[in-house]
Amino acid sequence: MPRTLLCLARHGETNWNIERRFQGQFDIALNARGRAQAAALARELSGAHFDRVYSSDLRRALATAAPMARARGLEVAKTPALREKDDGVWQGHTHAEVQATFADIYPHYLAREADFAAPQGETLDYFAQRVRKALTQIAKESAGKTVLVVAHAGVLDIAWRLAAGKGLAEKREHPVLNATPNWIAYEDGKWSLVDWAKPDGRAEIAAPWDGRALPRREAARALIVNEKGEVLLIRYAGGLTPHFLALGHHHFWATPGGVVKEGESYEAALRRELYEETGLTKLEHGPVVATRDFPMEIGEDWHQAIERYYLVRVRAFTPAPRDLTPEEKTHILGWRWWSADEIGASHELIFPEGLEALLRKVTM
């Protein structure tokens, strides 16, 4: 069988990378640095020839692959088998949260035990077999060609082990860098390592918030869920970044809530915001079901967003906003109850990231 050359690249950075949050198979978008990394990778590989482009079907990988495929007039072959490892109920949580909550089993994850799986997730051994099968299929159907494969850190880790002949528990020599080319080959049924990227000497891709002391922006938001398992989202206008405007978005959907005022608790802010945006009073909110801590672009400036999402269970109702300012009245365009399936199938701009999976978790 002729030699097949594969260029492997991890997707660009996401906010969940910054937060050290298990992404797994949640469909999280690139952040500003990630988009810049994708563009930089396209420039770095501008002189390379590729016959085909394959990508995980998750949008952080697709958005990284798209510039390179477009420049060559190639279609991206969306490949679900190249998704990141499924980490089950850990997905959406930070490593610190998982370590605290699953203290008894987290060490098995750190030890890279082949038969260990996070609750409702897949084992490392199963994941490795999935990746090996997918890469081998790509190599065989592209025999003698040069292909680009864009996927995730876990996928590239397995690819390196295949090519370097290393076991699942052995220490990897170098990190898997975002949006950086790595090369392996497949010939006569065997994998070999051609070149693996090292961090030394590589230029750092800047983000707009680098080197800045960002002001904190604390916010309380509500995940309002009705008896059908649907979540209430408000349709907002304004406040979109140039990136989203360039993609054709002129409004967005988000959970109700807003900024915590000086001297106000998160819970008090939640009650106030819900009264203003939905008319709900005498609120009995549930637990915090998600937290966020990431750089957020607001207007022409950046803030460090610290957000808490509270679960609120209600019967379906018609929102009746109260005490809105004229500006707020023009900013809020409407509302709608959404199922997890509708969120997953929609091409609308919906916040927070990972809402579909979060909704499925709280309605199980």
What positions carry a catalytic annotation?
11, 84
What is the phi/psi pair of residue 222, to 5°?
Answer: -115, 130
What is the phi/psi pair of residue 313, to 5°?
Answer: -100, 130
Amino acid type, 40: A
Residue 54 is encoded by which pair of tokens?
């394959």
Spatial separation of the C-alpha atoms in residues 267 and 285, rounded to whole Å = 9
Residue 204 is encoded by which pair of tokens?
């750092």
Residue 56 is encoded by which pair of tokens?
């995980």
Q: Are strands 257-259 and 216-225 parallel, antiparallel or unpaired?
A: antiparallel
Please give the C-alpha separations between residue 104 and each of 14, 98, 197, 325, in angstroms, as whole numbers.
29, 10, 35, 51
Q: At what angle do helices 153-164 and 124-141 cross, to 10 degrees?
A: 70
Q: Half-sphere exposure of residue 227, counting CA atoms within 13 Å on the CB side?
A: 3
With left for phi above 0 and alpha for psi between -120 and 50, is residue 235 left, alpha or beta? beta
